Amino acid sequence: MYSSEKNVQILLSLLKEHGVKKMVLSPGSANASFVASAQYDSDFELYSSVDERSAAYIACGLAEESAEPVVICCTGATASRNYMPGLTEAYYRKLPIIAITATRPVAWIGQNRDQLIDRSVIPNDIAVKSVLLPIVQNKQDEWECNLKVNEALLEAKRNGGGPVHINLTTSYSLDFSVQQLPKERVIRRYYENSVLPPIKKGRVGVFVGAHSVWSKRLEIAVDSFCKKHDAVVLYDQTSNYTGKYGIPCGMFDIAGFPNFEIDLLIHIGNISASWPASSPEIWRVNADGEIRDTYQHLTNVFEMSEESFFEAYCDDTVEEKTEQYEKWYNAYSNLNNALEDAELPFSSMWIAQKMHSKMPANSVIHFGILNSLRCWNCFELNKSIHGYSNTGGFGIDGGVSSLIGASLAFPGKMYYGIFGDLAFFYDMNSLGNRHISANVRILVVNNGLGGEFKNSLGNVQKAGLGDSANDYISASGHYGHESRTLLKHYAQDLGFQYFSADSKEQFLDNLDCFVATDHKDKPMLFEVFLDDHEDVSSIDYLKKLGVHPDNQKIMSATKKVAKLLIGQSNINKIQRAIHKI
Residue 187 is classified by DSSP as -
CATH class for the domain made up of 342-538 = alpha beta
Lowest-confidence segment of 91-105, 141-155, 327-341 by average pLDDT = 327-341
Q: Is the pLDDT of residue 543 over 50?
A: yes
Q: What is the pLDDT of residue 502?
A: 95
Q: Could you give the strand order of the β-sheet that contains 364-367, starting from the edge strand earlier in sequence?
A: 386-389, 364-367, 415-420, 440-446, 524-529, 497-501
CATH superfamily of 6-185: Thiamin diphosphate (ThDP)-binding fold, Pyr/PP domains (3.40.50.970)
C-alpha span between 560 and 341 (Å, rounded)? 16
Q: What is the mean pLDDT of residues 234-259?
A: 87
Q: What is the pLDDT of residue 127?
A: 97
Residue 440: partners with Cβ closer than 8 Å, 6 or more residues away? 403, 404, 407, 415, 417, 523, 524
Q: Dihedral (C-alpha) 467, 468, 470, 472: value to the nearest 10 degrees? A: -170
pLDDT digits (tens, 9 = 90+) for 173-213: 999 999 999 999 999 999 999 999 999 889 999 999 899 99
C-alpha span between 325 and 576 (Å, rounded)? 25
pLDDT classification of 316: cutoffs 50, 70, 90: low
Q: What is the pLDDT of residue 258?
A: 54
Residues of the chain with CATH 3.40.50.970: 6-185, 342-538
CB 99 within 8 A of CB 56: yes
Residue 166: partners with Cβ closer than 8 Å, 6 or more residues away? 11, 98, 99, 100, 101, 130, 131, 133, 148, 149, 152
C-alpha span between 166 and 152 (Å, rounded)? 7
Residues of the chain with CATH 3.40.50.1220: 204-327
Using CA of residue 27, residue 29, residue 34, residue 39, what is the dihedral sign? positive
Q: Is the pLDDT of residue 261 over 90?
A: no
Q: What is the DSSP string of 540-559?
A: HHHHHT-S-TT-THHHHHHH
Rg, C-alpha atoms of the chain = 28
C-alpha span between 533 and 260 (Å, rounded)? 31
pLDDT digits (tens, 9 = 90+) for 277-314: 778 999 999 999 999 999 899 999 999 999 999 999 98
pLDDT classification of 51: cutoffs 50, 70, 90: very high
C-alpha span between 369 and 272 (Å, rounded)? 10
C-alpha span between 215 and 460 (Å, rounded)? 41
CB 162 within 8 A of CB 128: yes
The domain 204-327 is placed in CATH, from the list 3.40.980.10, 3.40.630.10, 3.40.50.1220, 3.40.30.10, at 3.40.50.1220
Side-chain-side CA neighbours of residue 235 (13 Å): 27
Q: Is the pLDDT of residue 363 over 80?
A: yes
Q: What is the pLDDT of residue 546?
A: 65
> Both ends of the chain: CA-CA distance in Å?
58
Tell me which range, 258-267, 320-329, 433-442, is most confidently predicted by mean pLDDT: 433-442
C-alpha span between 104 and 116 (Å, rounded)? 7
Q: Is the pLDDT of residue 578 over 60?
A: no
Task: Determine the distance from the C-alpha atom of residue 91 to the mean position of all C-alpha atoms in its chain, rounded to a whole number.
Answer: 33
C-alpha span between 18 and 16 (Å, rounded)? 5
User: Other CB atoms closer than 10 Å to residue 74's CB: what's the count?
Assistant: 27
CB 423 within 8 A of CB 401: no
Q: Is the pLDDT of residue 559 over 60?
A: no
